[in-house]
A = this chain, B = another copy of it.
Amino acid sequence: MNHTLIIADDHPVFRKGLINILKSEKSFQVIGEAADGGEALKIIMQHNPNVAILDIDMPVLGGLEVCRKALKLKSQTRFIILTMFKEEDLFNEAMNIGVSGYVLKDNAVSDIINCIYSVAQNDLYISPDIKQYLTTRKGKQIIDEEISKKLLKITTSELRILKLVSENKSSKEIAALLFISQKTVENHRSNICRKMELEGNYALIKFAAECKNSL
């Protein structure tokens, strides 16, 4: 089976080099190339390649914007981001937008080729380095673990209320929802704060807003 590709990168040497490498793979067919994001978007919408390989840092439109716009225009193309950046935020943004592959430029050529194969088969591929990076993120995990430990001390009613707080409900609204007194809700809130060792102004609101996904 043949996979049609387009490449977008503003560095000609890198772009041509990559195209050359991909030529050695018989099942890949590079049907277009672009030196900036605007051009890339145009080619994608005109030629509908199976896979688009995009640099993040390009003139006119960045790779992520190209991807975002193309997907909004119902493009069927799948996207690989090929970048020098291994910032977690960029990676997360890429995942949110809906890219199918994320590979670092200094990864092995075989990684890039594997990535294209995976993505062409509708799989998701993330470069080993990025995986490493995500694993290193365990600092965050430790915090989460501590929170989990504290959350164990919390009773059923308290958890019910904590959830409602995280859903932006005020004590009055929670009271109305649960058919209990507003005062009771406030007492529960206080108890939660004590158990979670939260203090200061609006501590529970901040806490609930931050960990609403883990409740």
**CB <8 Å contact, B123 and A128:** yes
A118 to B121, CA, bound (A): 14
In the assembled complex, how far is the CB of residue A85 from the closest CB belonging to chain B, in whole angstroms?
A: 15
Closest to A172 in B: B201
**B128 and A125 within 8 A (CB):** no
Contact of A131 with B209 in the complex, beta carbons under 8 Å: no
A interface: dominant SS: helix
Q: Is the C-beta of A114 less than 8 angstroms from some C-beta in chain B?
A: yes
Beyond A89-B213, A131-B124, A201-B170, is A96–B144 a contact (Cβ under 8 Å)?
A: yes
B125 touches A123 (CB 8 A): yes
User: Are A134 and B89 in touch, CB under 8 angstroms?
Assistant: no
- A23 contacts the other chain (Cβ, under 8 Å)? no
A96, B140: Cβ atoms under 8 Å? yes
Copies per complex of this chain: 2
Task: Check if A134 sits within 8 Å of B168, measured CB to CB.
Answer: no
By the criterion CB–CB under 8 Å, are B124 and A126 in contact? Answer: yes
Q: Which residues of B contact A68 (CB under 8 A)?
A: 141
Is A135 among interface residues, defined by CB-CB distance under 8 A? yes
Residues of A within 8 A of B (CB): 68, 71, 89, 92, 95-98, 100, 114, 118, 122-126, 128, 130-131, 134-135, 137-138, 140-141, 144, 168, 170, 200-202, 205-206, 209-210, 212-214
Q: Can you list 26 A-B contacts (CB < 8 A)?
A: A71-B138, A89-B213, A89-B214, A92-B213, A96-B141, A96-B144, A98-B134, A100-B131, A114-B123, A122-B128, A123-B125, A123-B126, A123-B128, A123-B131, A124-B125, A124-B126, A124-B128, A124-B130, A126-B126, A168-B200, A170-B201, A202-B205, A205-B205, A206-B209, A209-B210, A210-B212
